[in-house]
Structure 1
C-alpha cells in the first residue's frame, strides 16, 4: 500500500435517493459559513430544507451551538409546520449533542446523520446551500458584509421559483396556492379579479382542488427525476468493498495532515483495520492496537 497513490473519484456504491412522504415530514439541516462578517459579527447561516416541497428556512448567526439549533427547530419548523418525522444533518456537535437529541426525542423526532466527511449523503441540504450562496453572490457584488440584509429576499426568491425536480414552487407545494408576487399588483389575474368580484367561495374551491393535484404531480415528477438521476450516477459506480479485518489506508483530512508538508503531503495515512461495514458504504475503522478510530 502506497500513501501517495492518487485518490479515486469514481463512486463505489450506488446512489440511494431520499424523499419526504408529505410536506414538512422530513427536513435536511446544515450550516453555511463562515461568510464575510456582517453586523453583530454574524458569519454563519443555519439552513433547513423540507425534502418534499423544498421549502427553506434560514437564519444568520455569529456562532451556532446546539441550543441555537434547538431554538431554530422549535421556532422555524415545529411552530410553523408541525412536528416532523425526521431531521437529517451532519455529525457536527451542534446537531449530534445530548441536548439536541433529547429535544428531538421528546417530540418523537428521529435524528438521522450523514456519513462523516461525505456531505453528499445529505444532498438536499448541500443543494440548497449551493443555491443560496450563488444567489447571495449575485445580489451582493462588492458589498459582501450586507448578506444578512439580502437573505430574506434570497429566501423569498427561492420559495417562489419553480424547481426542476417538482415543476412547481416551494410556496405552492407548501401552502397549496401560488404566492402573490409584485407582477400581480399591476397586472390583473384570475385570482385578483375573483377577489374583487366577491367570488371568494369559487376561488377557494378551485384552490383546494388544485392543491391536491399539484402535490400529487410534484411527487410523481420528483420520483421520475430521482430515478433518472440515480441511473446517470450509477453508471459511474466502480464497486469497492472491504471485509472485516482488512488493512486499509484512510484519506488524509485537514485535521490529520502533516504540519508543514504542503504540496508534498501524502494522500493516505496509517494503515487501519476495518472493524465494521455500514449499509451506506462507509466503514468503521480501528487502529492496529484495536482502539476504535473516531470520526475524522
Structure 2
C-alpha cells in the first residue's frame, strides 16, 4: 500500500477540483504540471518549451497570480451558490436518500456499513429541509 501513496497523491494534486476548476498543484505553484507521459512524446506544450524563455514566462505568470486567485474566488462563490440552490430544489415526487442513524448496525460490517438508506420518495414538505417520505412501495416512512 505504501508504494501506491505517491501515485494517489499525484493524481489528487493534478486533478481539477469541481469547485475551483483548477488543480491544487496549479493553485500552489501557479502553473500546470507536466505529466511524465508528456516528456516521452512530442506534445504541443513540450515542443514549444524553451529553457531560455521559461524564466520570462514564469515571471509573467506570477504577475497574474492575484488575478487568478480572484477568478477562483468568484468561481467558488458561484459553486457554493449553485450547491445551495440545489439543496432547496427537492420537491414532492423526487427520490432521495436518508442518512442512516445507525439504530440497527450490523457489527460485522464496521466501517463498510452504508451511511445512507433508501431510495425514498418525497410526498410533501414539512418545513425547510424536512420532508415526509415514503418508500417505493408507497409505505409511509416514520421519523
Which of 16, 34, 43 pairs up with 1:180?
A: 34
Identify unmatched segments of 5+ residues in structure 2. 92-100, 108-143
2:83 corresponds to = 229
| Alpha-carbon distance between aligned partners in 2 of 1:191 and 1:164, rounded to the nearest angstrom | 30
Per-residue deviation at 1:254?
Answer: 6.5
C-alpha distance 201-149 of structure 1, shift in aligned 2 (>3 A): closer
Given that residues 16 and 24 in structure 2 are in contact (C-alpha distance below 8 angstroms), is that contact kept between their aligned partners in structure 1? yes
Given that residues 16 and 22 in structure 2 are in contact (C-alpha distance below 8 angstroms), is that contact kept between their aligned partners in structure 1? yes
Given that residues 194 and 200 in structure 1 are in contact (C-alpha distance below 8 angstroms), is that contact kept between their aligned partners in structure 2? yes
Which of 49, 70, 88 pairs up with 1:193?
A: 49
| Alpha-carbon distance between aligned partners in 2 of 1:208 and 1:223, rounded to the nearest angstrom | 24
2:6 corresponds to = 152
C-alpha distance 212-254 of structure 1, shift in aligned 2 (>3 A): farther
| Mapping of residues 251-266 of structure 1, within 5 Å | 253=103
TM-score (structure 2 length as normaliser): 0.54
1:218 corresponds to = 72
Identify unmatched segments of 5+ residues in structure 1. 1-146, 238-250, 258-296
| Mapping of residues 12-161 of structure 1, within 5 Å | 147-161=1-15
Residue by residue, what CA displacement relative to the aligned partner does 1:205-262 show, whole Å, maximum 9, x if unpaired?
222134333322221111101110111112349xxxxxxxxxxxxx56468x9xxxxx
C-alpha distance 180-229 of structure 1, shift in aligned 2 (>3 A): same
Q: Which has the higher contact order (CA 8 A, sep 6+)?
A: 1
Which of 155, 161, 165 pairs up with 2:19?
A: 165
| Mapping of residues 1-12 of structure 1, within 5 Å | none
Secondary structure in structure 1 of the residue aligned to 2:34: coil
Residue by residue, what CA displacement relative to the aligned partner does 1:154-201 show, whole Å, maximum 9, x if unpaired?
110111111221111110011211122124313352796231xx1243
1:294 corresponds to = none
C-alpha distance 162-150 of structure 1, shift in aligned 2 (>3 A): same
Aligned residue-pair number: 95
The structure that has the greater radius of gyration is: 2
- CA RMSD between the two structures: 2.9
Secondary structure in structure 2 of the residue aligned to 1:148: coil
Given that residues 194 and 203 in structure 1 are in contact (C-alpha distance below 8 angstroms), is that contact kept between their aligned partners in structure 2? no
Secondary structure in structure 1 of the residue aligned to 2:38: helix
TM-score (structure 1 length as normaliser): 0.28
| Alpha-carbon distance between aligned partners in 2 of 1:213 and 1:201, rounded to the nearest angstrom | 20
